[in-house]
Amino acid sequence: MFTNIIGNDGFGAQYQKIIQTFIYCKANNLKFYYCPIKKMEHNYNNDINYIPRIEKLINLKDNIENRNIDECTQIDYNMVVRKWFEENIDKNSNNEHMNFIKDCFWRNKERELIFNNNKINIAIHIRRENQHDKGRVGERITTPNEYYLMVMNRIRTKYKEHDKELQFHIYSQGNIKDFTILQDDVIFHLDKNIIKTFTELVAADILVTSPSSFSYVAALISDGEIYYKKFWHKPKSNWIIY
């Protein structure tokens, strides 16, 4: 009986490990069991319903057979699962097992109502330092706003003849004054709850990622166009890389 490495890091990193270990087990004929989440960072308000809301968001607890962690072998993520998954990321991201993950995610949501505005919705995730980082995340939080402006302008040029209007959404933390050069035709979602933020990243017609597992895993389960910011996890071949 096998499961993913259990940790207490943030949502993106934990969900990524769950998804990729599940697919690894399915592809290698190993019996995967889901071990419900026990700990997770970024519960800034000490919300007692934080983890139950995360479980509802990913919707795997009720759709994969559960086991206690002490009943399962945890498969090493970095040395085994990640290496295997990323060596053939297109195949591993476009199969029946990933489709199952996507189906579980959308099964309890009204997808068509998330962006009900008849526009091309572009979600931009900008990773900035939060209270759990404590100065340890390095270059991942220093991608300048000019980078995101460059990508936004690239999208504006690409879709300038489209019959639908573009609507940019920026998801980040901090104060709107920190994003002055990005403020034209943008809706800001700053310090919003993780459930709504992640769902909208996945649902967007176009997703612009930051060097973060949060938007990287959203890209993995997205059916939209992806603009990928390079960091240590490999992109799919159809993602647009800057």
92 and 118 housed in the same domain: no
What is the distance between the alpha carbons of residues 18 and 199, in angstroms, rounded to a whole number? 17
Give strand pairing partners of 121. 167
**Residue 62: CB atoms within 10 Å:** 12
Name the residue range of residue 24's domain. Answer: 2-107
79 and 169 housed in the same domain: no
184 and 122 housed in the same domain: yes
Q: CA nearest 15: which of 222, 232, 221?
A: 221
Instruction: Provide the token pair at 93.
Output: 């991201």
pLDDT computed for residue 130 by the predictor: 53
Q: CA nearest 140: which of 164, 168, 113, 172?
A: 172
pLDDT computed for residue 133 by the predictor: 46
Exposed, middle or buried, 124 (CB in 10 Å: 0-12/13-18/19+)? buried
Give the predicted TM-score (pTM) of the model. Answer: 0.92
220 and 101 housed in the same domain: no
Tell me which of 12-21, 128-137, 223-232 is least confident: 128-137
As a whole number, the mean pLDDT across the chain is 90
102 and 160 housed in the same domain: no
Give the residue-averaged pLDDT of 137-161: 83
Last residue of a domain, one of 107, 125, 156: 107
As for how many domains the chain has, the answer is 2
116 and 221 housed in the same domain: yes
Statement: residue 134 has pLDDT above 80:
no
Q: What is the pLDDT confidence band of residue 129, given thresholds at 50, 70 and 90? A: low
Statement: residue 146 has pLDDT above 60:
yes
100 and 7 housed in the same domain: yes
pLDDT computed for residue 189 by the predictor: 93
Tens-digit pLDDT profile for residues 184-205: 889 999 988 899 999 999 999 9
Q: Residue 62 gets which letter from DSSP?
A: T
Last residue of a domain, one of 92, 107, 122: 107
